[in-house]
């Protein structure tokens, strides 16, 4: 099929490359000319495992090409995926102006029947609004009124495993309001369903939009739940890692997303929890559980700061190294990064902060211009008074702890990801503190 992808960021580029890999002819479009220039010259504008190779393969074969010209992208498209950002607004709702703009632009250029698919994460009712915008725009401009079928096909990929997740989905969800749209999406995903046997949820547009928000809000709830349990564990001397293991063995619970630590970050969970809460309020439901999920998450930074204060007393004047700027391993994405939030809180308290990150150092320098940024963890730790693990990069998990102790002025480490072995850390000479694994001596 001929497919266009509007917005070739973290989701759009992976979607475009994977759809090309599945046998479709794909055009990727972005209004960021520099991004398209990078892609046209063989680069990939962000760190994502397996993506550069896949993009190279499908562009070499001619299955994927890039443009900044919407007319060109739409010319033959049967299905158009909208993958633009929906960043948070100060009031908690998502900023849907980019989605609206795409609707207006598509309405002004399209000259044939097609399906416009929301892949961006949007609240329920967005499909309805988008349909309205397109109709209004076509009537106002006096352009040919063509049938643009708005559909929802939420994305569940994880950054750091995005290509794998897209080609091996747990499920495919799409919501449509016409046979035309449903049949088109069936044909888009037929090769993937054949390849993987992935189950498909076919539903209406509002339900599909809501599945995405409910899924992310539920995953965030699991993380905040185990973090609250960890805070009780710290107070009674229990080990949250074993508690989570014991809970996860129950088939009704399962082991995923029960990792206690510094809390979730990234471009999705914080924003989507807030957006779902915002939508619920707008429609007259007080979803207080989600408020608490967000509050617990932010509170985890204070848990780490308290452990540092217990060890160092005043943080002002101390040098503290944060291991991890990226919000999780496998990506250089810094959006809502717990490590950066922590670094800022430490700076506010008067500490001198250093950040180590193996792939996101350039971005960290841009975000925190006054902070020393390192790509070597031992160099980042030399002469520091304490280290905090904010991202469980393999380079941190496999670090020679003896060398770390030798590098530090005080051998203090707060493991905000519970990713090191407490016994090995203590045997190496560290004063080691985890989240929910017993209290300070």
Site residues (vs ligand NAD, CB under 6 A)? 6-12, 29-32, 35, 83-86, 98, 101-102, 120-121, 155, 157, 159, 267-268
Q: How far is the CB of 100 from ligand NAD (least distance, A)?
A: 9
Q: Which run of H or of E encompasses 388?
A: strand 386-389
Which residue among 18, 83, 233, 268 is the active-site one? 268
Residue 203 in contact with residue 175, Cβ under 8 Å?
yes
CB closer to ligand NAD out of 29 and 407: 29
> Does 271 carry a binding-site annotation?
yes
Residue nearest to ligand NAD (CB): 9
Is 68 annotated as belonging to a binding site? Answer: no
Q: Are 240 and 210 in contact (CB under 8 A)?
A: no
Answer yes or no: is 156 a known binding residue: yes
Least Å distance between CB 324 and ligand NAD? 17
Q: Which is nearer to ligand NAD, 14 or 229 (CB)?
A: 14
333 is in an annotated binding site: no
Task: Choose between 102 and 401: whose C-beta lies nearer to ligand NAD.
Answer: 102
In whole angstroms, how far apart are CA 188 and each of 24, 30, 191, 424?
8, 21, 7, 50
- Tell me the sheet residues that pair with 150: 116
Report H helices in 97-204: 97-109, 126-141, 162-167, 179-196
Which residues, in sequence order, are bridge partners of residue 29? 6, 67
Residue 140 is assigned to a ligand binding site: no
**For residue 77, what are its two tokens?**
């498209």
- What span, in angstroms and rounded, lies between the C-alpha atoms of 80 and 171? 20
Q: Any bridge partners for residue 319, and if so which?
A: 352
Of 8 and 428, the one with the shorter C-beta distance to ligand NAD is 8
With tokens 């995405």, the residue in question is 212
Distance in Å, CB of 107 to ligand NAD, minimum: 13
Active site residue 268: yes
Output the smallest distance, CB 412 to ligand NAD, in A. Answer: 33
> Cβ distance 59 to 52 under 8 Å?
no
Annotated binding site for substrate: 156-159, 212, 257-261, 265, 328
Annotated binding site for NAD(+): 30, 35, 86, 121, 159, 271, 335
Q: Which residues are catalytic?
A: 268
């Amino acid at each position: 099929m001929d497919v266009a992808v509007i917005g070739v960021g973290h989701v759009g580029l992976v979607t475009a490359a994977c759809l090309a890999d599945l046998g479709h002819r794909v055009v990727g479009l972005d209004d960021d000319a520099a991004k398209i220039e990078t892609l046209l010259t063989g680069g990939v504008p962000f760190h994502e495992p397996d993506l550069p190779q896949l993009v190279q393969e499908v562009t070499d074969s001619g299955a994927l090409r890039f443009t900044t010209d919407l007319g060109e992208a739409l010319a033959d498209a049967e299905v158009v995926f909208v993958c633009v950002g929906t960043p948070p607004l100060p009031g908690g709702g998502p900023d849907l102006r980019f989605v609206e703009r795409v609707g207006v632009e598509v309405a002004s250029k399209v000259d044939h029947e097609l399906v416009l698919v929301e892949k961006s994460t949007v609240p329920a009712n967005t499909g309805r609004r988008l349909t309205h915008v397109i109709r209004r725009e076509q009537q106002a401009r006096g352009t040919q009124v063509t049938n643009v079928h708005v559909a929802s096909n939420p994305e569940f990929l994880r950054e750091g495993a995005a290509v794998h997740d897209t080609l091996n989905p747990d499920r495919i969800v799409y919501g449509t309001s016409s046979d035309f749209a449903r049949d088109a999406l069936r044909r888009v995903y037929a090769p993937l369903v054949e390849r993987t046997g992935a189950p498909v949820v076919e539903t209406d547009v509002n339900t599909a939009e809501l599945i995405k928000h409910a899924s992310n809000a539920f995953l965030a709830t699991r993380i905040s739940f185990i973090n609250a349990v960890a805070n009780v564990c710290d107070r009674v001397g229990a080990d949250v890692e074993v508690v989570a293991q014991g809970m996860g063995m129950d088939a009704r619970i399962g082991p995923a997303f029960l990792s206690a630590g510094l809390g979730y970050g990234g471009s999705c969970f914080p924003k989507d929890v807030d957006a779902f809460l915002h939508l619920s309020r707008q429609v007259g439901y007080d979803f207080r559980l989600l408020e608490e999920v967000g509050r617990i998450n932010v509170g985890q930074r204070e848990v780490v700061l308290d452990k540092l204060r217990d060890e160092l007393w005043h943080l002002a004047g101390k040098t503290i190294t944060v291991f991890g700027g990226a919000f999780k391993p496998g990506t250089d994405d810094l959006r809502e990064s717990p490590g950066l939030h922590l670094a800022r809180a430490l700076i506010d308290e008067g500490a001198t902060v250093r950040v180590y990150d193996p792939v996101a150092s350039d971005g960290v320098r841009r975000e925190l211009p006054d902070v020393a940024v390192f790509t070597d963890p031992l160099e980042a730790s030399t002469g520091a008074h304490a280290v905090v693990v904010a991202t469980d990069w393999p380079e941190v998990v496999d670090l020679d702890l003896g060398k770390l102790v030798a590098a530090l002025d005080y051998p203090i480490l707060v493991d905000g990801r519970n990713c090191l072995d407490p016994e090995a850390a203590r045997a190496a000479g560290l004063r080691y503190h985890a989240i929910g694994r017993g209290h300070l001596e």
